[in-house]
Structure 1
Amino acid sequence: MTALRSTAATQRLQSYQDRFANGDEPMPEAANLRAWIDENRDVFHSVMECDLKTCAKIVYDFSSNSDVVIGGESDPARQTEIMWLQLADANAPVGIGRYREDRICYQSEQFKNDGKARSQHLGIDLFAPAYTPVFAPLDGVVHSFADNNLHLDYGPTIILQHEPAEGIRFYTLYGHLSRESLDGLYKGKEINAGELLCRFGDFPINGDWIPHLHFQIIFDMLGREGDFFGAAKPSEWDIWESICPNPNLILQMPENVTASRKGV
């Protein structure tokens, strides 16, 4: 969640900003990539043991404080206890944190550039107990991995690269993992659809959050490895939405898991 790392990446991001200013899709390849994912949605494997298309869920709102709070100064142990009781009462195996949500937990200096917070969520969160298994949704190779071990960062993180057809390349990010999830990985390692990829981490290893998976689609890694922006400035949302489209294109949950543009 730091600055861009290369001149080429900075130039690409500037080109996306320029295209948006001209009224064009910021990333020129984005429409074709979204279309390929949508056209092949029936072949994707669930990333969890439960079927996210049909299982019961609680969709949470983290745009304001409520009985369940994530990040900030909250106590992850206490918040985990509250969430697990709610999920058990609902007979729901998973809780959901929404895409595009403007979150109050991202208002600290850690998430600010030029005094403005990167507060709008670029991924979807899947909340379940620590060590819940995660499966690859489609074939890929390990692009990179890292233990982003700052407080409220991703913790252990894996990024897969997918090239399922000619001219189609994109990435999926898996954050807040167990440290053991990184064992045996190497760049270029082949991962098959449906293969056990990793497991949810526990606090504090996972960045000190309620145990969950941050799942994100990325169309341009912008030169980064083992880490990527997990939230965007609301003023730049249209640009980052083109780079990181709605992860529900792959997850395919029927519930409304996308916040409105105002985060409500």
Structure 2
Amino acid sequence: MMPTNAIKRLQTYHERHQQGLEPVEQAIALRQWLTDYADSFKSVMECDLKTCPKIVYDFSADGDVVIGGTSDPARQTEIMWQQLADANAPVGVGRYREDRVCYQSDQFKNDGEARSQHLGIDLFAPAYTPVFAPLDGVVHSFADNNLHLDYGPTIILQHDPAPNIRFFTLYGHLSRQSLDNLYKGKEVKAGDLLCQFGDFPINGDWIPHLHFQIIFDMLGREGDYFGAAKPSEWDIWTSICPDPNLILQMPENVAASRKGG
């Protein structure tokens, strides 16, 4: 249940959007800070995401590789790993803003509309791939969200790099070992080993990958967060959770078109 003050903030974001304003007032300054300091961010993977080969996937319709739903993660992992090997690519990418078919089940619906538009970027690589902190921060919260098609083990970092600049990064679908020895407020430095990719079914029963997301307002949540938004509310949620490529800095087009395809 969202705290009362968070509900009020969310309502304010809706009202500002209706007035033609940026829903989250501080989002403009936060995005600008991320843009200004982009060159200082460390890669979240051992491969340099700015230069390494990749396959950018399209999960807006069923294709050769299917994620979630009733798909078999073991079989789909086998297919993806072969595609990546054939392309000599160490990582596959799932796009930001993508309207995904796997989020159309009742689990993702509220008031009849599915939360189907992806708020993060997915990085696909083998289970236990190490993940590094892209910039300094502290552990805000962590949890094992162990429902089917949920995040599985999850870590959220808080970043306060400058006066009046605060944002959060979320790392989902991790291994259970990733939560060992964590505590709220634990300091993390840029480039530190933070966690590792999880395997199915521990990671929510997905192809092994990292869900990476930037968050400007936690809305009172801890250890968990909305990973997708209703398409009808996209303009509000993109102000709360901007393009993660502001940090990842991949040169490929890793954001879906405005309609999600």
Q: TM-score range by the shorter chain?
A: over 0.9
**Equivalent position SS for 2:213:** strand
Residue number in structure 2 paired with 1:181? 178
The one-letter code matched in structure 2 to 1:86 is Q
1:198 paired residue among 190, 195, 200: 195
Q: Deviations over 1:103-122 (max 9, x none)?
A: 00000011011111000000
Residue number in structure 2 paired with 1:145? 142
Percent identity, please.
80
Offset, 1:80? 0.1
The reply on whether 1:251 has 2:244 as its aligned counterpart is no
2:108 paired residue among 111, 115, 128: 111
What pairs with 1:124-163 in structure 2 (closer than 5 Å)?
Answer: 124-163=121-160
Offset, 1:46? 0.3
TM-score, length-scaled by structure 2: 1.00
CA distance in 2, matches of 1:72, 1:89: 26
Residue number in structure 2 paired with 1:220? 217
CA distance in 2, matches of 1:236, 1:22: 15
Moved over 2 A (4+): none
Residue number in structure 2 paired with 1:49? 46
CA distance in 1, matches of 2:2, 2:239: 20
Residue number in structure 2 paired with 1:7? 4
CA distance in 1, matches of 2:109, 2:137: 33
Residue number in structure 1 paired with 2:78? 81
| RMSD between superposed Cα atoms in Å | 0.4
**Equivalent position SS for 1:157:** strand
Offset, 1:263? 1.5
CA distance in 2, matches of 1:218, 1:101: 17
CA distance in 1, matches of 2:42, 2:237: 26
2:229 paired residue among 228, 232, 236: 232
Offset, 1:5? 1.7
Offset, 1:262? 1.3
The one-letter code matched in structure 2 to 1:188 is G
Offset, 1:84? 0.1
Can you give the 5+ residue segments of structure 1 that lack an aligned partner in the other structure?
Answer: none
Residue number in structure 2 paired with 1:70? 67
Offset, 1:27? 0.3
Residue number in structure 1 paired with 2:88? 91
Residue number in structure 1 paired with 2:259? 262
**Equivalent position SS for 2:259:** coil
CA distance in 2, matches of 1:145, 1:115: 30
The one-letter code matched in structure 2 to 1:171 is F
The one-letter code matched in structure 2 to 1:170 is F
Can you give the 5+ residue segments of structure 2 that lack an aligned partner in the other structure?
Answer: none
Q: How many residues align?
A: 261
Q: Deviations over 1:117-146 (max 9, x none)?
A: 000000000000000000000000000000
Offset, 1:261? 1.3
The one-letter code matched in structure 1 to 2:32 is A
Residue number in structure 2 paired with 1:61? 58
CA distance in 1, matches of 2:20, 2:42: 36
